[in-house]
Amino acid sequence: MQTPPPRERRLLLAVDAPSLLHRNHHARAHTDLRDRQGRPAWALHGMLRQILEAIDQFAPDALIFGLDDRSTSVREGLYPAYKAGRAVKDATLVEQLERADALLSALGFRTVTPPGLEADDVNASAATWAGENGWDCVLVTSDRDSFANISAHTKVLRVIDGGISGSPLLDPARLHRLYGVDPHQYLEFAALRGDASDNLPGVAGIGEKTAPILLREMGSMRAVWADIEHCGGENLVATLDSWCAETGARRMGAAMLKRLTAPGARERYDFNLSIMSGRTDLELGLTPDVPGSPGLLPLDPERVARVVDFLGVGATTHLAMRVLTEPAGSGRP
């Protein structure tokens, strides 16, 4: 790998471990890879392999892994139908999800399982921590919820079918090209649109095409609701119809107002926003100025060799030794 140029800011790589495990479980189940005790290991191996490739690509100074609390869920307590449409997890996936923390911790990585919360919350808190401490951050996930954390110093590597090298790295400009909104508007956009994967319907009649227009022309949903409350949406209708006249689009102001003021529309939006918002105040336990802290690179070579070799894939052990145990100053920025 070509050595990256020196950076002015240190880099934190925050990984949504469950999302990588889910993807690799389905993509690699045909291999039936087992560890040296005969336990299913294809999802764990695939996750680790992608982590190593991401480290090789970004050369981070520290890593943190978010895990879901599998025993309880704050969001499910608020909304029992949360994620209800998803298929029941295969037993071999469940087993590997439960072993992920032990594997990552054994390597010397920092893992966080927030009580009642999810890896998305760890990602949101990691982005906030990086901003407050003068670091850059890359969030590694396949979940769109993390798009709300994109900023000048936080990017999202959205892991898709092409693996790490083929996955898009989203910054504010690329997010805007994809969805027509800026990062600070993404949560409002998502709350309007809804999220079928989490079983969260959106505001009826407002989707991926119309929500960006509304947010762009009005600036924010706070401004939208304020206009509806104070003058019955008069400015909203005028602003949207003016945009339609300028662009040659069909007038939409009155129809948009009707959808936003329909019974339950405001409540649906507010509820989605509360469920979708990631926690940004979690204690992550990152102490990067304390040598040997969990998550700091490089890791202990003997430890890495022993843990990765237990998966029984020599090529992955070799890659792990190269990217995890390389001492500072030997190509790492």
- 270 near 200, Cβ under 8 Å? no
Mean pLDDT, rounded, of the chain: 94
pLDDT at 138: 98
One-letter identity of residue 165: S
pLDDT at 103: 97
Helix H, strand E, coil C: the string for the chain is CCCCCCCCCCEEEEEEHHHHHHHHHHHHHHHCCECCCCCECHHHHHHHHHHHHHHHHHCCCEEEEECCCCCCCHHHHHCCCCCCCCCCCCHHHHHHHHHHHHHHHHHCCEEECCCCCCHHHHHHHHHHHHHHCCCEEEEEECCHHHHHHCCCCEEEEECECCECCCCCEECHHHHHHHHCCCHHHHHHHHHHHEEHHHCEECCCCCCCCHHHHHHHHHCCHHHHHHHHHHHCCHHHHHHHHHHHHHHCCCCCHHHHHHHHCCCCHHHHHHHHHHHHCCCCCCCCCCCCCCCCCCCECCCCHHHHHHHHHCCCCHHHHHHHHHHHCCCCCCCCC
Whole-number percent of the chain with pLDDT over 70: 96
**pTM (predicted TM-score):** 0.93
pLDDT at 162: 76
Residues of the chain with pLDDT under 70: 1-6, 327-333
**Full set of structural domains in the chain with CATH:** 11-179+279-324 (3.40.50.1010), 184-276 (1.10.150.20)
